[in-house]
Amino acid sequence: MAESLLSLDGLAVHFKVGNALAGGIKTLKAVDGVTLDVKPGECLGLVGESGCGKSTLALAIMGLLPPTRGTIGIDGHQISGSTPPDRMKMARTVQMVFQDPYASLNPRQTVRRTLADPLRLHGITDKAEVETRVIDMMAKVGLRPEQADRYPHEFSGGQRQRIGIARALILKPKLVLCDEPVSALDVSIRAQIINLLLELKDDMGLAYIMISHDLGVVEHVSDRVAVMYLGRIVEQGGWQEIFENPRHPYTRALIAAIPDPFHRAAISADAKARGEIASALNPPPGCHFNPRCPLRADICTAEYPAFGEVSPGHRAACHFRDRVS
């Protein structure tokens, strides 16, 4: 079995929110005990609704938020609450592609500068080498060399996302966190960017964490999938297992909620979730999903279910994971 590139062990990121004088300080458990690993060259799809903690998880892996508990191991480095990350070293291993290509590029920097700065910061100062690597990278993401001196506003959304991808890959990282990389783009442009990300993955041997709420995209690109709900992973497994044999009612609700006319009625309407995601400040007792769950029983309000194995590599945190759909 291949060595993990990324391994999270019981990772928790908590925030103190509120005011000691008005209402008191509460703990928001944005990420609460996440254990998972990513192998080199693998794509892990991370799925969940807003507020489930997936972006906090990404920021912690980037070294931008200190863990409250647990550890993050990346390519031999260990990060925990007491050992802060060496961001410079990590930048060569982990990079990120952001959702909004309008907000994530510096409007006052040309493409060349956006791509060359990381190289120079990391000690590649030979002008000819910098130039070659910038132009090579631009070609890889489908930009022409003469576009190097243009500014972000001169590009369309899809091209800007290509620049964002080039910036993430210029240091040849091993792991790229893609946070909703296509959801801000026009529908007719998305396929271009998804195809590009998959090509580059094979080409450069990258591992991805693909954060998305679009299950169609996740199924298309992922090798394995993790589903998050209120700060915890509730189901994890190979992509085919998750989509064809989902065992957590939340995963089933997500799949049932997709308005796909080709897939209509594949999962019955009673798989749908009721109500809305609870506040992470005040999660319900027992299984966090119980107020919305069609399978709820007494045990669900009493204890949080174990993250038990369904089949090798496929786990689900549900008391009824063995009840076949």
Positions touching other proteins (CB under 8 A) are 49-50, 156, 158-159, 186-192, 194-195, 198, 213, 215-217, 219-221, 239-240, 243-244, 253-264, 266, 272-274, 276-277, 292
CB 74, min distance to other proteins, A: 27
CB 47, min distance to other proteins, A: 10
Select 150 or 272, whichever has its Cβ closest to other proteins: 272
Task: State how far the Cα of 35 lies from the Cα of 46, in Å rounded to an integer.
Answer: 13
CB 41, min distance to other proteins, A: 15
Select 171 or 197, whichever has its Cβ closest to other proteins: 197
Select 76 or 261, whichever has its Cβ closest to other proteins: 261
Q: Which two tokens stand for residue 198?
A: 């998959």
Task: State how far the Cα of 322 lies from the Cα of 325, in Å rounded to an integer.
Answer: 9
CB 189, min distance to other proteins, A: 7
Q: What is the dihedral of CA 90, 5, 44, 227, to 10 degrees?
A: -90
- Is 251:233 a contact under the CB 8 Å cutoff? no
Beta bridge partners of 66: none
Select 66 or 238, whichever has its Cβ closest to other proteins: 238
Residue 140's contacts (CB-CB under 8 Å, 6 or more residues apart) are: 166, 169, 200, 203
Crossing angle of the two packed helices 127-140 and 111-121, in degrees rounded to 10: 120
Helices (H), ranges, 224-285: 239-244, 249-256
Select 113 or 220, whichever has its Cβ closest to other proteins: 220
Select 93 or 251, whichever has its Cβ closest to other proteins: 251
**Parallel, antiparallel, or unpaired for β 224-229 and 69-74?**
unpaired
Task: State how far the Cα of 301 lies from the Cα of 308, in Å rounded to an integer.
Answer: 18
Beta bridge partners of 27: 16
CB 188, min distance to other proteins, A: 4
CB 228, min distance to other proteins, A: 13
- Is 126:136 a contact under the CB 8 Å cutoff? no
Select 50 or 82, whichever has its Cβ closest to other proteins: 50
Q: Which two tokens stand for residue 104?
A: 């994530």
CB 122, min distance to other proteins, A: 33
